[in-house]
Structure 1
Amino acid sequence: MENTVRSFNGLRRPKITSTSLPNHWVFGVRKTPFTPPGDLVLAVNPQSRFLLTGGRRQILLQSTISEKAKAVIGLLLDMFIKGIDPEGRYPNVPPPFAPWTWVAEDPELGAAIEKGLKQYGVKKELCRVGACSAEDKLILEESLSRHRALLGFRGCCARRRLQVPRVRKKQRGLLDAAQEVLRVLVGLVSFAGLPEVPLEGAQAGVPRQPPVQIDERQAIDRKLGERKPGDSNSVSTDLPSVLGSAFPSLKYHMAAHTHYNEVAHTSPEGQALITSLGLDYPPVRTKTEDLNKALRRLVLSGQDTPDKLKLLFGPEWRASQGKEHEDARMEILLDPPRGSPSYVFMRSWNKNRGPERAPRPATDAEQRRITLVRDMQEKIRQRVGAGKKPSDSDMQVILKSYGHNWTEHMETYQLAADTMKQGL
């Protein structure tokens, strides 16, 4: 622990991150569905929803709160010491940094961690562990849920190896790169215990090839390290380039972010639209703002037409915000009740001069999806009862009922659960 504390104390501690967001973190502990069981420490930046994970260890089963705190502290400090890129492969990734402020989801555990940090000799300013707000707690839960939905179908972060379907040699490098980028971005959390997903395009009765084991530490070495610099066939080891090639939508998202923060307000039409949404524009808004609030207020007020989406987010808005726009419309059209996660989340982006609710009517396709969500909500109620939060095991039981194509219902399940009363 002494070396860990020394390394942590030596980290820089910016007030604002390199993306101009507050360097504030919320952390908590969650039990994993792995076998053997264990617990993860999670830390999320509420503004960006960027998630760090550490574990697996037995934490929640410790007999005293001080023992739980001790187990958490080691993982928590190590997560920040390692940072975004533990292997140091990408030159343009910001080096690890310590939080400016952090809060604990569990007040009792937070107090014990604060005491433990002081005993271990952590810097005085980092020994202050604040209390988690209801909004922060929701964001932590939401980040974990989305994290599971993205990566949890068959992987297992408890093992140091990933299982992926066998692919042709030419495809392997791209697959390796994509997996490594995902690991660097958000770590790995598994959604274990569900039926194995058939390979895409597999025919009934045709034996499937066994999965190929790929060591995650070697995942992109074939493409991002074997070739010499300057080789016309080489793949860049610059993380933004890798991200751009693996996930083209990120490039458009960055362009939309720049357009909204630097261009949209320069026209009278843009200023009028931003003002109608109860938002500020420079110079009144002195720091950059993410796109979530503007997009959702646009949907809530019924102004989410192609022309106005283009005005706020630029000509490529469909590439950057198309899926987010669809998701925002569904969530708002479902009209989440008080006490649901989505209702709490909605309050976070619609407080302070937010527009009145007046969304455009659902299209036929949206109405069909709403029906699917309502059906899923009924399944959840039958399983856990009205007004109660479904557990991970409840989710597994419900999704297992769909058989091998359960992955097709994952997004519907998450939307259904988020828009139901859960006593929040």
Structure 2
Amino acid sequence: MNQPESEVAAKCSNPRCETASSDQLPLCAGCKQARYCTKACQKEDWKDHKLFCKHVASNGANSASLDPMLYYQKIAPYDPKAKSLASDIGLALPGPNDEFPGFAMLMRRLVVTGRDTPENLSLLFGQNKAGQLDECHKDTRLEVLLRPPPGSPMYVMAKSMGYDENCPPWTPREPSATEAQKIKEIRDMQETIRRHMGSRGVSNITSGDMREILVSNFGNRWSQVMKVYQDAVNAMDQGVGL
């Protein structure tokens, strides 16, 4: 291990260590970022630290193919930039024995604070973002930009899961042209639903209403707009309570 060049009080990077912070903690020779009070502490933490250490030593090449979930659990918690980002959006990165919390809350925080840039997504989830993570990002952006009202299934779900507890102010990025078009399609669908339901109100909508709305308005294209219909209904006040 190499001695740090600057004397800055630091805590041992082994989360199991109870030694007080010190200005004499040597740096890990591999990544030059983690600090340990003893060789024994470094050895005890190596199982959890090694992926991040190799990630830094290889300039990210060693972790390029990591699953986003594994990256979030094993790389991000050791990365000072990732930790700073998590703190900015009101979250704490996981410890070595914590279970993966799922993408939903993490992505929502990034989106509502306008921090869901490619660079920030890479800080938390790595480079391998195709598939489930990418879909979660798209769906979350759409939901946040729709601003579902109280009483809507989307609003109640977010509230019941505590997604916005201790959340900084909402400052989502403006919708792209593609997102703006999708939002318009959903808003138009909501108007179609309201006209169909009339005095009965959206809270009384049934599967029969769904079929009638889709078939009468979209004919044999009804299956192509099913997702739009679902998003529209879930973002409407149906009187759903917590």
TM-score, normalisation: structure 1: 0.39
> Does residue 1:266 correspond to 2:78, yes or no?
yes
**In 2, Cα distance between equivalents of 1:356 and 1:291:** 20
Deviation by residue 1:216-255 (Cα, 9 ceiling, x = unmatched): xxxxxxxxxxxxxxxxxxxxxxxxxxxxxxxxxxxx9x81
Match of 1:276 among 70, 88, 92: 88
Q: Could you say if the C-alpha distance between residues 282 and 323 of structure 1 is closer, same or farther in structure 2, counting changes exceeding 3 Å?
A: closer
Sequence identity percentage = 35
> Conserved in 2, the CA contact under 8 Å of 1:261 and 1:289?
no
Q: Which residue of 2 aligns with 1:309?
A: 121
Aligned residue type for 1:420: M
**In 2, Cα distance between equivalents of 1:284 and 1:337:** 38
Q: Could you say if the C-alpha distance between residues 285 and 333 of structure 1 is closer, same or farther in structure 2, counting changes exceeding 3 Å?
A: farther
Deviation by residue 1:276-332 (Cα, 9 ceiling, x = unmatched): 222122339833211111011111111010011111111011334212211111111
Q: Which has the higher helix share?
A: 2
Aligned length: 173
**In 1, Cα distance between equivalents of 2:101 and 2:95:** 13
**In 1, Cα distance between equivalents of 2:68 and 2:225:** 30
Q: Could you say if the C-alpha distance between residues 301 and 277 of structure 1 is closer, same or farther in structure 2, counting changes exceeding 3 Å?
A: same
Match of 2:194 among 359, 381, 398: 381
Q: Could you say if the C-alpha distance between residues 379 and 285 of structure 1 is closer, same or farther in structure 2, counting changes exceeding 3 Å?
A: farther
**In 1, Cα distance between equivalents of 2:220 and 2:94:** 51
Match of 1:339 among 151, 162, 172: 151
> Does residue 1:361 correspond to 2:177, yes or no?
no
Deviation by residue 1:119-145 (Cα, 9 ceiling, x = unmatched): xxxxxxxxxxxxxxxxxxxxxxxxxxx
**In 2, Cα distance between equivalents of 1:284 and 1:349:** 23
2:67 is paired with a residue whose SS is: helix
**Whose RCO is larger (CA < 8 A, sep 6+)?**
2
Q: Which residue of 2 aligns with 1:390?
A: 205
1:388 is paired with a residue whose SS is: helix
Q: Which runs of 5+ in 1 are unaligned?
A: 1-251
TM-score, normalisation: structure 2: 0.66
> Does residue 1:287 correspond to 2:99, yes or no?
yes
Runs ≥4 residues deviating over 6 A: none
Q: Which residue of 2 aligns with 1:408?
A: 224
Q: Which has the higher strand share?
A: 1
Deviation by residue 1:350-370 (Cα, 9 ceiling, x = unmatched): 243123211001111111111
Please provide the CA RMSD for this pair. 2.2
2:173 is paired with a residue whose SS is: coil
> Does residue 1:298 correspond to 2:110, yes or no?
yes
Pairs within 5 Å for 1:104-253: none
1:420 is paired with a residue whose SS is: coil
